[in-house]
């Protein structure tokens, strides 16, 4: 029960990494606010669990940060952990990418993380162990065709998080980011449903498998708990060794 007495916000919580993290945090004693766009999907994922409250919210809206922090405080009486997990991954070559595609990707993947962190900082300062955990990607440091906006947004997450770590350290608040590799989530489901594609990516890992949402949730639990009390400004790669040969 490493999170007993803690209150957490997890975005992108209706499926994949977010859903797994909400369940793991709650099982470790936290009260969790699960945030996603769809109230119906949130209810399916987390309904009937006293430790979990749900909020249907567009994380990219201007007032989203304040709305999430208020809902978390109402649920748990405080705020100790923020996990920015919501994200999108459109693909388009830079030459043909529209302004709307670029703006939407940066809004959800980067600006929304900033909005929640900014709104949460006053509450996290009041916590005895405030934690910010932002989900980036191995593509924050690598690249591939069609990922100009995605890679830019995830590199931005890394820069944002390191700066938050510097600014908030004197208040006892840590800020870290996770760089997942090839993980079987809602975002990647369509690609990995193709058995040949799934096998190719599994072979890229020295562990010879794709990652599961629980793999990332366990890393998030480490960063949320006292086990990581002296870790801040760090990018934790959780990719099964995918990037060892790139």
Main-chain phi, psi angles of 196, to 5 degrees: -65, -45
What DSSP state is assigned to residue 98?
-
Sheet containing 174-180: give its strands across. 52-56, 31-36, 7-11, 81-84, 131-135, 174-180, 235-238
Beta-carbon contacts of residue 69 (< 8 Å; ≥ 6 apart): 9, 79, 116, 119, 120, 123
Vertex 137: Cα angle to 241 and 208 (nearest 5): 25
| 202 three-state secondary structure | helix
Alpha-carbon gap, residue 185 to 137, rounded angstroms: 13
Nearest residue to 8 (alpha-carbon basis) of 102, 71, 89: 71
| 70 three-state secondary structure | helix
| 246 three-state secondary structure | coil
End-to-end CA distance of the chain: 38
Active site residues: 150
Nearest residue to 30 (alpha-carbon basis) of 16, 13, 119, 116: 13
């Amino acid at each position: 029960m490493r999170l007993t007495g803690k209150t957490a916000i997890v975005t992108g919580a209706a499926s994949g990494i977010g859903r797994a993290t909400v369940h793991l945090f709650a099982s470790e004693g936290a009260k969790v606010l699960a945030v996603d766009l769809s109230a119906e999907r949130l209810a399916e994922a987390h309904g009937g669990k006293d430790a979990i409250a749900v909020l249907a919210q567009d994380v990219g809206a201007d007032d989203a940060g304040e709305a999430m922090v208020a809902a978390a405080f109402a649920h748990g009486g405080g705020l100790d952990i923020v996990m920015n997990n919501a994200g999108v991954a459109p693909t388009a070559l830079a030459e043909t990418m529209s302004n709307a595609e670029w703006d939407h990707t940066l809004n959800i993947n980067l600006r929304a993380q900033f909005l929640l962190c900014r709104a949460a900082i006053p509450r996290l300062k009041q916590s005895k162990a405030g934690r910010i955990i932002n989900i980036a990607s191995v593509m924050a440091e690598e690249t591939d065709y069609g990922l100009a906006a995605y890679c830019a947004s995830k590199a931005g997450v890394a820069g944002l998080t390191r700066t938050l770590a510097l600014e908030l350290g004197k208040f006892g608040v840590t800020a870290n980011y996770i760089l997942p590799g090839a993980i079987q989530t809602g975002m990647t489901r369509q690609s990995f449903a193709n058995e040949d594609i799934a096998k190719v990516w599994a072979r890229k890992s020295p562990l010879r498998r794709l990652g599961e949402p629980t793999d990332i949730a366990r890393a998030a639990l480490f960063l949320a708990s006292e086990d990581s009390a002296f870790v801040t400004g760090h990018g934790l790669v959780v990719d099964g060794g995918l990037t060892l040969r790139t």
